[in-house]
Amino acid sequence: SSVIRASAPKLENVDELIDSVETFLFDCDGVIWKGDKLIDGVPETLDMLRSKGKRLVFVTNNSTKSRKQYGKKFETLGLSVGEEEIFASSFAAAAYLKSINFPKDKKVYVIGEDGILKELELAGFQYFGGPADGEKKIELKPGLLMEHDENVGAVVVGFDRYFNYYKVQYGTLCIRENPGCLFIATNRDAVTHLTDAQEWAGGGSMVGALCGSTQREPLVVGKPSTFMMDYLANEFGISKSQICMVGDRLDTDILFGQNGGCKTLLVLSGVTTLDMLQSPKNSIQPDFYTNQISDLLPIKAA
């Protein structure tokens, strides 16, 4: 027998949802902004929720920036959000290494951009790699042998516009040949919206290359893995049933909320359309959906 799964209802009783939780977790791209453009009504919505005493936390899978760099982005967009309220997958990678007491005398090899390097620096880890390795080319000659550092105890892979074959080979050598070397992915998003003209290959494409070469699966620290959820729930001392996760993607945000036992609200201001939500092929249903977060505001009298 086949189970027919009802599609998520449109959010009607806004006050009931707001009153039922103490924390709103907001995904960033597609919810707060689109690229560098603030989404309509966001400042007013965040102000309203804060005035009702709600805690606001921001969670992004985009590892190209650090918490501090995201703080600047919020500020540029006219939003006052503290660094400690921002959980980017770059930060999650460093926080994960801290949580397992990754040895300070071991090194981290990074395939990714500046955000990961900045967070590893702040956490006091030894690291190398990053965008600079994108200039390295492998010139094949007979007997060529790539050396690698045996002290690398973790390879962190995130979205990387400077990705190349050198990085794949280097990371692969570390993972395959250094005993116990960790393989950590910031996120596995298949595609991302770097420009509004088309979909671009996401962080999952760089991670996938290393999966192919190592035949290993990474430990994912970004959404939908529960690492960040557990981390922030613990950090703020909040119970997960008191959280509403708001996001625009089913396979990262909504699954993240559901994996964490939170309430979930899908917004249609990003990548997911109503057709995608209601497609028989979709098995991930949020508790509610709505157009955009400003729908949480009281309706203004005409």
Active-site residues, by number, are 22
- The verdict on 153 binding Ca ion (CB under 5 A) reads no
**Candidates 43-51, 58-66, 77-85, 144-152 — which segment interacts with ligand PLP by CB under 6 A?**
58-66
Q: Interface residues for Ca ion in 240-269 (CB under 5 A)?
A: 248
Strand 37-38 with 33-34, pairing: antiparallel
Please identify, using beta-carbon distances, which residue of 108 and 246 lies nearer to Ca ion: 246
How wide is the angle at C-alpha 26 spanned by C-alphas 24 and 32, nearest 5°?
Answer: 130
Candidates 153, 147, 77; CA nearest to 109 is 153
The answer to whether the CB of 237 falls within 8 A of the CB of 256 is no
Q: Whole-number minimum distance, CB 27 to ligand PLP, in Å? A: 5
Q: Whole-number minimum distance, CB 247 to Ca ion, in Å? A: 6
Among 24, 159, 163, 227, binds ligand PLP (CB under 6 A): 159
- The verdict on 202 binding ligand PLP (CB under 6 A) reads yes
Binding mask 6-45 for Ca ion (x = CB under 5 A): ---------------------x-xx---------------
Could you please report the per-residue DSSP string of 121-172?
Answer: HHTT-EEEESGGGGG------TT------TTEEEEEE---TT--HHHHHHHH
Q: Whole-number minimum distance, CB 24 to ligand PLP, in Å? A: 15
Q: Whole-number minimum distance, CB 68 to ligand PLP, in Å? A: 16
Q: What are the φ/ψ torsions at residue 161 (nearest 5 degrees)?
A: -75, -5
Q: What are the φ/ψ torsions at residue 288 (nearest 5 degrees)?
A: -145, 160
Binding mask 19-48 for ligand PLP (x = CB under 6 A): --------xxxx------------------
Please identify, using beta-carbon distances, which residue of 23 and 62 lies nearer to Ca ion: 62
Q: Whole-number minimum distance, CB 86 to ligand PLP, in Å? A: 11
| From ligand PLP, Ca ion, none, interface partner of 62 (C-beta below 5 to 8 A by class) | ligand PLP
Cα gap 261→243, rounded to integer Å: 9
| Site size for ligand PLP (CB under 6 A) | 16
Q: Which residues pair with 34 in a beta bridge?
A: 37
Residue length of the chain? 302
Distance of CA 191 to the CA centre of its chain: 13
Residue 237 CB neighbours (<10 A):
6
| From Ca ion, ligand PLP, none, interface partner of 194 (C-beta below 5 to 8 A by class) | ligand PLP
| From ligand PLP, Ca ion, none, interface partner of 64 (C-beta below 5 to 8 A by class) | ligand PLP
Among 23, 64, 172, 264, binds ligand PLP (CB under 6 A): 64
Distance of CA 38 to the CA centre of its chain: 19
Could you please report the per-residue DSSP string of 187-256?
Answer: ---SEEEEETTEEEE-HHHHHHHHHHHH--PPEE-STTSSHHHHHHHHHHT--GGGEEEEES-IIIIIHH
User: Which residues here bind Ca ion, judged by CB under 5 A?
Assistant: 27, 29-30, 248
User: Which residues here bind ligand PLP, judged by CB under 6 A?
Assistant: 27-30, 60-62, 64, 159, 187, 189, 192-194, 202-203
